[in-house]
Each structure stands twice: as C-alpha cells, then as structure tokens.
C-alpha cells in the first residue's frame, strides 16, 4: 500500500514557492499497519530528490511531535530509487511504526533539498 495524498498546501515568499505540504495516509508493509512511508513523483523532483540522488535520514524522537527529516547529501547513505523521471522514496520498518503512531503524516517538501515528515493525529 502506498501513501495517499489527502490535501496539499503551498507556501510562497514573494510569489516564489518555499515549500509544499500535504497530509498523507501511512501504508502497510508486510501486513504491519502504519509501517511504510512511500513518496513518489514531481514533489520529490521539485525538492531536489531525483532518481539516484543520495540523501540522509535524521529521526527526531520528540514525544510531542516525532519527525523524520530527509536531506539531499552527496555523501548520504540512502539513494532515491525509481525509473526514468519518476523518483521513489520508500521507507519501511519498525522505526516507521514506532515514530509515526497515527494513521496520517504531514510531509513538507522544501526547495532547499529537505523533506520533513511529521506524525499527524488529526
């Protein structure tokens, strides 16, 4: 199951997009609910995450607002997958399940090569 986009918000500064934010449903991996974050397509490209781009992951275990930050990094240990011009980031595992306890997350795509994924219990 993939992450489903629920709603989207675009913030601009002087008419130039600064970031795009949307609320998404967490998917299922190996029959474990809420254990997969799947992001694909143009939002990734706009934030600098094209196929083959290396990036880092930083987990914030703050009890009040847990988050995962992805940052473009030429020395990063993760790589954006996908084919052609359709990039995919697929994050699965116990850490996803432990960090994102709700059914939804809020994903913020920044033009500086950063994506922030936060728990969203709304």
The per-residue pLDDT for 86 is 94
Task: Note the residue count of the chain.
Answer: 122
> What's the farthest any 2 CA atoms get from each other in the chain?
45
Instruction: Work out the pLDDT band at 57, boundaries 50, 70, 90.
Output: very high
Q: Nearest CA to 2 among 79, 73, 107, 122?
A: 107
Q: Is the pLDDT of residue 6 over 80?
A: no
Instruction: Work out the pLDDT band at 17, boundaries 50, 70, 90.
Output: low
The per-residue pLDDT for 22 is 73
List 81's β-bridge partners, or say none: 88
Region 14-43: what's the mean pLDDT? Answer: 73
The per-residue pLDDT for 23 is 75
The mean pLDDT of the chain is 80
């Amino acid at each position: 199951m993939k992450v489903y986009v629920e709603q989207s918000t675009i913030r601009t500064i002087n008419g130039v997009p600064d970031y795009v934010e949307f609320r998404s449903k967490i998917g299922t991996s190996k029959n474990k609910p809420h254990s997969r974050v799947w992001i694909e397509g143009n939002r990734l490209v706009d934030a600098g995450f094209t196929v083959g781009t290396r990036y880092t992951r930083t987990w914030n275990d703050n009890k009040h607002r847990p988050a995962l930050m992805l940052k473009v990094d030429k020395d990063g240990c993760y790589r954006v997958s996908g084919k052609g011009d359709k990039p995919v980031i697929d994050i699965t595992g116990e850490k996803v399940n432990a960090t994102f306890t709700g059914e939804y997350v809020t994903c913020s795509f920044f033009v500086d090569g950063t994506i922030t994924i936060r728990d969203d219990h709304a």
